[in-house]
Structure 1
Amino acid sequence: MADLSEVGQHFLMGLRPTTSLHKDDKHMLATLKPLGIVLFRDNFLQDAPYDEWFPAYQSLLNEVAAALGRDDFVVSIDHEGGRVCRPPEPVTQYDYARNWVDKAENVGVAVGRELASMGINLNFAPVLDIDSNPDNPVIGPRAFGTTPEDVVKAGLTFARAMEGEGVVACAKHYPGHGDTAQDSHYELPVVNTLAGERNIRELVPFKAAIEAGMQMIMTSHVMIPDIDPDFPATLSSRIVREELRGRFGYDGVVISDDTGMRAMDSYFKDPSVAADFFASGHDILMICSYWADTDRALGLAEHLIKAKKSASYAQGILAPSEQRLARFRETLPKNTPKHMPPEFWAAHKEVAPLFAGERAVIVR
């Protein structure tokens, strides 16, 4: 059997819903040696006090490090505000981004400090989508506003502040998930926005993020027939390689949204799709256990190694991606989990409005 760790850095894995490392996750991490992990709500002891859940969480990270055989790995999470908040109290659950646009810098600092204290070094935020469709079931107030100007100003302010505290930001969901009427967690949305309108609306925040030097962009599971009638953005060379990398000159890391989501059901069950996925211009394939068996990644990795045997694929597709990942890993913060005093958490709760609803089990 091939050494799957040869391509492991191209994968980011969501753990099974356990607070200690599941035996299958241990096997997967030890075999694939992925770039790192994605944390979800059920990886924390949700109903336990801080003094109880934090040591259990530290133990989970130690188990991950032991399985990977290294302590320099990505610890990532979705922490936007509103329903998209995974850890329990006392971690601050701010309201949706729409409700603290005027406090984006202060929230970015607070979020960065809190996540860094948990050893997290990558946050899948900010959302740079524009809330342009009132029928959108998944974006709405997660967006910073209804205009490109509002999204750029608050979104990039938040990102800079958070990164200043040692947590890498990830702009999402390229090429724009705001003008959809479907939720990609459950089905594949179709964006009928024409090219000219996209240029003056959906694409503006992402171009601003590129100009600002943002290190990572997440793509979305959406179809844009006006650009590519055959493939969703997750597999589209026209959208990622030609537009994002070619037209806009983006040379940072491009990661997929969770490829286990229902929108991708008809695309990722065949592991041979791995070669097409990376050929489209992506660097990292994300797969999380909520939607799919993460062992699927092992088959995808096997097919990627097969593709790598072609000199043209290895040199033209994977070599540039490996260079981008090497740069990313060189600058990746290494945050050590640290138990923080009550006053640390109390101060952050005064920064911006808090969310009063239920936390989401998923949503990315």
Structure 2
Amino acid sequence: MKIRKAHLLALLLCGTLTLSGCGDNGNAQANTSSPTQQPPSPKPSVPTNAPDSTESPRPTEENSIAAQIANMTLDEKIGQMLLVGIEGTTLDESARRMISEDKVGGIILYADNISNLQGMVKLINNLKKINVENSIPLFVSVDQEGGKVSRMPKEFVSIPSNKKVGDTNNAKLAYTMGELLGRELTLTGFNMDFAPVLDINSNSQNPIIGDRSFGSSASRVTKMGLAEIKGLRSEKMIPVVKHYPGHGDTSVDSHLELPVVNKTARQLAELEWIPFQAAIKDKVEAVMVAHILFPKLDPDKPASLSKVIIGEQLRGDMGYEGVVITDDLTMGAIVKHFNLGTAAVDTIKAGSDILLIAHGYDNEKLVFNKIKQSVKNGTISEARINESVQRILTLKSNYHLSDKETVPAPDLTALNQDIRAWRQQVEK
């Protein structure tokens, strides 16, 4: 479906939206002169004992995963490519069916899913118990950045924003931030965090990034972001960097409308891409792609649906081999301009592995059925589906995910003491 031009030029006047996939609370041709050389990335001064969870699997593991995929049905493969949101603070029938019937690969929880510590842990355990009959464990994910994008219930001492930490320009504090975020999530049963934000806050009128960014310079965002990644990994938490190719220079909230950024590939390479290229060099596990139109790169499709931006630039020029995840496909930037089913097919053809469908069982079913139909009629090859499933299962294997291990509601005394002590260092 063609983009409606009026929507692209309009700045939406709106009230406060409760913060979705990339931070909402869940209630709402390539330029061939583009440099391909990765810029030098600052080396953060951080502890070096974080485990390398991103090593490629050994040949025996690769063979095992290939054999597993060969024995999967098409429905099971498609399910692995969907990461979905659920309704409410307890499991409803729609959530049960997405897990049991469609065998979705992951769940994301938002503020509306979390009432208190006991309830959150119970919900996560129940999600895993339902999925335990499936052979592949779930990604249990959340947007836990710190600052205004925080999903943890009131029992946790709050973690300040990236900007607050970025202002210290101290990579050790950013490492500890990642470590603390990882601890609070692993204690409660999560295994994937949509963090850190690698956007550079270069536009003071940006309505969605702001203090979610570590700062306005590429060097600081790179240094602090890489340190946070290592901190998350140290707690066996899967980091997902966002929002490639950069959401920092937008003046429209993509939850509501489709932002347009008129930058060339060369301009992006000189600023926005720098933190992402450094993370790719560090073999970051997953990258979330934003719903932003870059007309000078692809005049027809936003980054999240663009073969130029994902396939040619991210996977081709930058050499990224990890998991690519879309931002929430039910956001206004997509559903106001594109057919959801068509968008799902386009993003897979572009190179995405996981499609985030944050809201609506009907939306999940529509996407599931459209992908299946597209494989059956040859629009998408099953070999292309297998590529994504290989990357997804490899990541789950590398992090030894399991749904057999549930957790009790944790005692937060030690963790909260450590958060307070760290905050004193950040705020002094």
Q: Which runs of 5+ in 1 are unaligned?
A: 47-52, 356-364
Displacement of 1:258 after TM fit? 0.7
Candidates 178, 203, 209, aligned match of 2:279 = 209
The residue that corresponds to 1:57 in the other structure is: 120
Q: Give the 5 Å matches for 1:178-189.
A: 178-189=248-259
Candidates 65, 74, 77, aligned match of 2:142 = 77
TM score, norm. by length of structure 1: 0.89
**Change in 2 beyond 3 A, CA 1:269/1:353:** farther
Displacement of 1:61 after TM fit? 2.1
Displacement of 1:185 after TM fit? 0.8
The residue that corresponds to 1:305 in the other structure is: 372
- Alignment length (residue pairs): 344
In 2, the alpha carbon distance for the partners of 1:185 and 1:353 equals: 34
**Change in 2 beyond 3 A, CA 1:159/1:336:** farther
In 1, the alpha carbon distance for the partners of 2:354 and 2:124 equals: 21
Candidates 180, 184, 195, aligned match of 2:265 = 195
Per-residue CA shift, 1:37-78, capped at 9, x if unaligned? Answer: 1011121224xxxxxx32x22321233224333482111000
Displacement of 1:344 after TM fit? 2.8
**Change in 2 beyond 3 A, CA 1:81/1:281:** same
Q: Which runs of 5+ in 2 are unaligned?
A: 1-72
Asked whether the equivalents of residues 116 and 336 of structure 1 are also in contact (C-alpha less than 8 Å), the reply is no
In 2, the alpha carbon distance for the partners of 1:327 and 1:109 equals: 23
**Change in 2 beyond 3 A, CA 1:312/1:83:** closer
Displacement of 1:333 after TM fit? 4.6
The residue that corresponds to 1:327 in the other structure is: 394
One-letter amino acid of the structure 2 residue matched with residue 88 of structure 1 = P
Displacement of 1:213 after TM fit? 0.6
Q: Is 1:164–2:234 an aligned residue pair?
A: yes
SS state at 2:141 partner: strand
In 1, the alpha carbon distance for the partners of 2:158 and 2:261 equals: 31
One-letter amino acid of the structure 1 residue matched with residue 110 of structure 2 = F
**Change in 2 beyond 3 A, CA 1:329/1:320:** same
The residue that corresponds to 1:223 in the other structure is: 293
Displacement of 1:273 after TM fit? 3.5
Asked whether the equivalents of residues 254 and 333 of structure 2 are also in contact (C-alpha less than 8 Å), the reply is yes
Q: Is 1:128–2:193 an aligned residue pair?
A: no
Q: Is 1:343–2:408 an aligned residue pair?
A: no
Asked whether the equivalents of residues 77 and 386 of structure 2 are also in contact (C-alpha less than 8 Å), the reply is no
Candidates 215, 224, 228, aligned match of 1:154 = 224
The residue that corresponds to 1:94 in the other structure is: 159
The residue that corresponds to 2:23 in the other structure is: none
Displacement of 1:22 after TM fit? 1.6
The residue that corresponds to 1:137 in the other structure is: 207
The residue that corresponds to 1:9 in the other structure is: 80
Asked whether the equivalents of residues 77 and 389 of structure 2 are also in contact (C-alpha less than 8 Å), the reply is no
Displacement of 1:353 after TM fit? 6.0
One-letter amino acid of the structure 1 residue matched with residue 370 of structure 2 = H
The residue that corresponds to 1:241 in the other structure is: 311
**Change in 2 beyond 3 A, CA 1:306/1:220:** same
Candidates 62, 67, 82, aligned match of 2:130 = 67
**Change in 2 beyond 3 A, CA 1:195/1:269:** closer
SS state at 2:94 partner: helix
Choose 326-335 or 237-246, whichever is displaced more: 326-335
SS state at 2:287 partner: strand
Asked whether the equivalents of residues 105 and 161 of structure 1 are also in contact (C-alpha less than 8 Å), the reply is yes
Asked whether the equivalents of residues 156 and 412 of structure 2 are also in contact (C-alpha less than 8 Å), the reply is no
**Change in 2 beyond 3 A, CA 1:5/1:319:** closer
Asked whether the equivalents of residues 303 and 309 of structure 2 are also in contact (C-alpha less than 8 Å), the reply is yes
**Change in 2 beyond 3 A, CA 1:258/1:23:** same
Asked whether the equivalents of residues 75 and 122 of structure 1 are also in contact (C-alpha less than 8 Å), the reply is yes
Asked whether the equivalents of residues 98 and 142 of structure 1 are also in contact (C-alpha less than 8 Å), the reply is yes
Candidates 111, 116, 125, aligned match of 1:41 = 111
Displacement of 1:107 after TM fit? 1.1
SS state at 2:356 partner: strand
Q: Percent identity?
A: 34
In 2, the alpha carbon distance for the partners of 1:344 and 1:240 equals: 38
**Change in 2 beyond 3 A, CA 1:321/1:61:** same
Asked whether the equivalents of residues 4 and 298 of structure 1 are also in contact (C-alpha less than 8 Å), the reply is no
Candidates 359, 363, 370, aligned match of 1:296 = 363
Per-residue CA shift, 1:198-244, capped at 9, x if unaligned? Answer: 11100011100000010100000100001000001111000000110
One-letter amino acid of the structure 2 residue matched with residue 92 of structure 1 = V
The residue that corresponds to 2:61 in the other structure is: none
**Change in 2 beyond 3 A, CA 1:273/1:105:** closer
SS state at 2:122 partner: helix
